Structure 1
């Protein structure tokens, strides 16, 4: 993605001449001292190959061709041993950090809404030894409250230090931990709690009052609620038979001599560590059974792809810990003695919604070196920065574009650009604290434009990963020195990948120039299956003749000659139109989401219709500017509902679709603009911001009928 220059041609030529002269003078010393040649060679080397010699695979990383990796350290075969190892090796190193809340206030908005704003202080840290002892006491306290080994216990809580302490306490005592997203609806929460027959649940004060309270009568087995907030000691609305405790009181109970001396039943590698309920993009969420050995294999593979990972690194935790990406990332950090500072999407940056103007967001204070993000968040950052670039003067904008294009050219040759980084991109880089050295994207496909932008402007490699809850989030991660875009990298050292022909979609492992097919992931990171769902287990999992477990992902991929995988389609996203053409809805969305007018999009098609339609969440700033140009006035909702604006947006995205070479039948014929964003709270996207197609279809049913001529 080259940016377009906009300035007087003579002045532009002067700038280019200066850049050319600088490159000429610095080329030889930089080439000799920077190691650019070695980096470029490493980026282009073969990273994985088919161990069978067949184009279908299985493909393995070149450094695991003989045997898949399954453990970080030989003696650490369960998660409690990993934490114990870290506490012994890094006892006084900062482990878990939480910012102090200095003040809270309500801030009225011009539209009448009231936003809660906070001023936060510094991070307060628990050392590895302190975090370990807190988990020991909490686990002992849970046992004193009647929680038994190999009986399920649930956690329904936001991402925070208490979440990971609770999880470690459960791992130590062989309490299988049932994880539930904090944004799940009432029926889904009740389903998970009843299916796993939990008697104890760990939650927060806010979630107890806003989400759990309404469904407690539907969970008859529940006996104990442990609230992680310090001030909660009782709750007047609690149904009869349920006791409410706070975390501190349970830890005090666990610290008593008679409870501390009680022997712990330690897990074995094959025991269930987590029953992780998926975010439910297709109906009722399923509980994925993940053993200790599964998670350890997964984090072993992930850790190998992060260069120089050690106790000097700082990770910022803000994604849902109930999602396998965040849980795995934090377990990787714990296993290497990194410190983890907690945040939330509402307090992440100085401009975040809950941060009071003039005070500092979490990235500014923490200055993390490691960060994970979902594409939705990266897309927002990309569009916000590019909007600010458009608002610059012509001279500033052209300088930015020149630097951007120059750096893109240099990194493609293996060179770094210290001068550009310090003079031009330093301010953008400071949005994430200024020290980020690895940024990992997962949860959904990341567009090539956004990935390249993050590479360049944040001055660090952006690794794109691919994995599922059913594979502990581990499948592939691109190597940090590979600056190609649109690919998810080679298989991790813990896993191998096979491509299975899919005749209906026209994908075959014999395809040229790249073998294509459904992605099947095998290895010790492939989980035990779905909880109490044998029919689905038989459909999605199988064991081969070598006793290795495999998971059928439903995603379509292609392997490139260097062994890197690219996700190109999804079986469930394929719709056959009335005339027989197959449309990949995911492909249409990926192309059109790069349009500046679009914040989010869901393509839709009925098999008895001849064309595609789309629901669109427009970018507010871009759409308001377009409305002003066209003389359309009114509230935000009125502008979104204006038929002339729909036609204008459709014209613009049609041009973008043609420019991206979509087929005629793939281009949406009609659209609906949504004035409300899609968030996990609306129930229209998952916590990882994946589209919930079933819910979106129900939500826009009247519009579907209108756009297809039914109304």
Structure 2
């Protein structure tokens, strides 16, 4: 048996037990860093650290406070908050109390928040601020199971018997622990591996979200499997900004407890660029949209610097991609990253002119990024690989506790999601669907046995709904969502995500694109442009001072994007090409329900919203 298998098979039943082990092993080591805004509201944040022992003191106080409120094992405690240190401490407190966390995105509207609270039968809600408390208050009459609301930031909130502050909960918990010092150890010791730990609601593209039941053993397995990959070590510094209500962010907290490295926590997306040089992470996880935005931002900045600078950038981007492809190919054959002397020399020059600045913007110490949640365009992946920002794509679903596949360190292959985590099995069905089995797979959907039976076979195989291919040596490539494949009226199958990804690598101004063509004779696209990038372009092209909607409607803008569409089409099969497109009057967003909080496109919603534009593109067209 390998060391990895031994590590996984001898795992404790819960992450709560792992947390107690971590605190006992390295009590004085730094566990977390988090920002503290200046009291005046002006100037940079200061960063405060918590050791494992200091974090444990707060975690145990939260756990004891919940127990004192009457929370029983497996009862749900909902968390409605952005990513911040209190989210992690509260989640660990819930687990150490033997209860289960129900996650709610802070952007979720009051109606859907109330649905999750009711469907999960949450007994307590831990809410970030007055805005989140107000959602529960508005639906209080429909939530008979909700006995208490705990508010993290109590500013502007009137507290009473029903609403208390997190500080008050911790104070009560600390007092309770003085009377019952062995309470936490006893509660954690009584948790079984099959006991519910987390109820994560997937933001589905249609209908109400489904609650995915993830027991304690899922997270314990994930923690050990992440450690077994060897991708992270105790000296790493992780920058965690992903939404913790999403399974991708949540799994990173489990891995950290097992490995024991430092995590800097700040979910404010608008602070990422400012935080990176301060945090200087050695690794971080992100979704493809972040890499697309960085790439588009660098390209737009180069273009704004004049034709000469833009030409240098384009040359450097070409060198980066060529270098990454050759280097990865050589590693596959010889086990070493190498390139011919001529390409190596060009890469050295490009590194000095362009790549070094990009690495500096990421903090200068970044070893690797893990990208997940959606497909990253290979061309953007190759660009960053060649620039020395190694993007390791991974794959998993809420139903598989997030991390089923990840690229293996130096042996990573851009365009694939790598190999299965130790302990996870994979097979490809006859129709190309990816099936998974292992300790990370969910128990089922909460109170939806029929839905569970649709995807989970009796022998444990889970139907992902994704189409993929396995290489002979076990690397997985995702080609599309099964339900998103387009079949044209001519009988040709098209993977829209593949075409959309290629366009994002070609056009530096795109934010979102939806390719349409099901049962049609040709493909069309709805394109939303990235506001900061296109407004910079507008300044240089006689459109300065005009609002975004006017800029995207301008003939010059349409003509510019048309040039990129032609460039895209040149590399596609005839039936994949985009014959017509329309620019959207605004970008797609979470608030309008067009993308999920994890930035995935909700195709049915967008197609419904912009049906008039789709109809317009096909009006009068021959569909034979």
Per the shorter chain, which TM-score range? Answer: 0.7 to 0.9
Aligned with 1:434 (options 360, 364, 381): 364
Q: Which residue of 1 aligns with 2:60?
A: 136
- Counting only pairs closer than 5 Å after superposition, residues 437-476 of structure 1 correspond to structure 2 as 437-457=367-387, 459-476=388-405
Q: Could you tell me whether the CA contact under 8 Å between 1:70 and 1:293 is conserved in 2? A: no
Deviation, 1:232, is 6.7
CA shift in 2, pair 1:530/1:146, >3 Å: same
Query: Taking structure 1 as reference, are residues 333 and 392 closer, same or farther at Cα in structure 2, changes over 3 Å only?
Result: same
* Deviation of the 1:422 alpha carbon: 6.5
Aligned partners of 1:233, 1:190: CA distance in 2, in Å? Answer: 19
Residue 543 of structure 1 pairs with residue 455 of structure 2:
no
3-state SS of the aligned residue for 1:686? coil
- Greater fraction of residues in helix: 2
Structure 1 residues 125 and 646: alpha-carbon distance in aligned structure 2, compared to 1, 3 A threshold? closer
Distance (Å, rounded) in 1 between the aligned partners of 2:411 and 2:586: 38
The answer to whether structure 1 residue 119 and structure 2 residue 43 are counterparts is yes
**What residue ranges of structure 2 are gaps of 5+ in the alignment?**
331-336
Q: How many angstroms apart in 1 are the aligned matches of 2:502 and 2:348?
A: 33
Cα distance change on mapping 1:671 and 1:128 into 2, 3 Å: same
Alpha carbons 1:302, 1:477 under 8 Å: kept: no
Residue from 599, 607, 613 that aligns with 1:697: 607
**Other structure's SS at 2:61 match:** helix
Instruction: Verify the 8 A CA contact 1:497 1:520 in the aligned structure 2.
Output: yes
Deviations along 1:450-508, one digit per CA (max 9) or x if unpaired, are: 11222233x24211001101111122111121353211111111211100011xxxxxx
Question: Is residue 2:444 matched to residue 1:529?
Answer: yes
Partners of 1:210 and 1:676 lie apart in 2 by 29
| Whole-Å separation in 1 of the counterparts to 2:391 and 2:597 | 21
Write the distance in 1 (CA, Å) between the matches of 2:313 and 2:620: 50
Partner of residue 90 from structure 2, selected from 157, 166, 180: 166
Query: Does structure 1 residue 676 correspond to structure 2 residue 586?
Result: yes
Report the 3-state secondary structure (helix = DSSP H, G, I; strand = E; otherwise coil) of the residue aligned with 2:435. Answer: strand
Does the C-alpha gap of structure 1 residues 71 and 327 become closer, same or farther in structure 2, counting only changes over 3 Å? farther
Number of the residue aligned with 1:363: 276
CA deviation after TM superposition for structure 1 residue 295, in Å: 1.7
Distance 1:646 1:708 in 2: 22
> How many residues align structurally?
597
For residue 551 of structure 2, the aligned residue among 636, 639, 657 is 639
2:171 counterpart SS class: helix
Q: CA deviation at 1:197?
A: 1.0
Equivalent position of 1:357 in the other structure: none
- Give the match for residue 586 of structure 1: 497
Q: Residue 603 of structure 1 corresponds to which residue in structure 2? A: 515
Q: Shift of residue 176 of structure 1?
A: 1.3
Question: In 1, Cα distance between the equivalents of 2:497 and 2:593?
Answer: 19
Q: Give the whole-Å Cα distance in 2 for the aligned partners of 1:606 and 1:628.
A: 38
CA distance in 1, matches of 2:539, 2:353: 35
Structure 2 CA distance for partners of 1:345 and 1:430, relative to 1, 3 Å: farther
CA distance in 1, matches of 2:199, 2:45: 35
Deviation at 1:102, TM superposition (A): 0.9
- Encode CA deviations 1:404-449: one digit per residue, 9 max, x unaligned: 6666537444149896656753321121211111210000001112
CA distance in structure 1 between the aligned counterparts of 2:313 and 2:562, rounded to whole angstroms: 30
Instruction: Give the counterpart of 1:688 among 595, 598, 601.
Output: 598
Distance 1:614 1:70 in 2: 50
* 8 A contact 1:174–1:267 mirrored in 2: yes
Alignment equivalent of 2:244, drawn from 321, 339, 345: 321
The TM-score with structure 2 as length reference comes to 0.88
Task: Specify whether residues 336 and 398 from structure 1 end up closer, same or farther in structure 2 by C-alpha distance, changes over 3 A only.
Answer: same
Q: Which moved more, 1:681-690 or 1:128-137?
A: 681-690
1:219, CA displacement in angstroms? 2.4
Cross-structure match for 1:485: 414
Q: Helix, strand or coil: the match of 2:203?
A: coil
Structure 2: how far apart are the matches of 1:124 and 1:631?
Answer: 47
Match of 1:8 in 2: none
CA offset digits 1:133-185 (Å, max 9, x no partner): 21111111111112111211111111111111111111112101111222223
Q: Distance in 1 between matches of 2:501 and 2:43?
A: 38
The residue correspondences of 1:403-418 to structure 2 (distance < 5 A) are 408-409=322-323, 411-412=327-328, 413=330, 414-415=337-338
Task: Quote the Cα distance in structure 2 between the aligned partners of 1:93 and 1:588.
Answer: 47
CA gap of 1:622–1:76, structure 2 versus 1, over 3 A, is closer
CA distance in 2, matches of 1:614, 1:400: 28
Query: Is residue 144–residue 259 contact of structure 1 (8 Å, CA) maintained in 2?
Result: no
Q: Which has the higher contact order (CA 8 A, sep 6+)?
A: 1
Q: Distance in 1 between matches of 2:568 and 2:120?
A: 46
1:332 aligns with 2:255: yes
> Which residue of 519, 524, 530 maps to 2:434?
519
Q: Is the 8 A contact 2:299 2:508 kept in 1?
A: no
Equivalences for residues 186-201 of structure 1 within 5 A:
186-201=110-125
Q: Relative to 1, partners in 2 of residues 1:291 and 1:394: Cα closer, same or farther, differing over 3 Å?
A: same
Asked which structure has the greater CA Rg, the reply is: 1
Check whether the contact 1:176–1:273 (CA below 8 A) recurs between aligned residues. yes
Is 1:94 aligned to residue 67 of structure 2?
no
Alignment of 1:499-518 (within 5 A): 499-502=428-431, 517-518=432-433
1:649–1:380 distance in 2 versus 1, CA, 3 Å: same
1:566 aligns with 2:477: yes
Deviates more, 1:628-637 or 1:615-624: 628-637
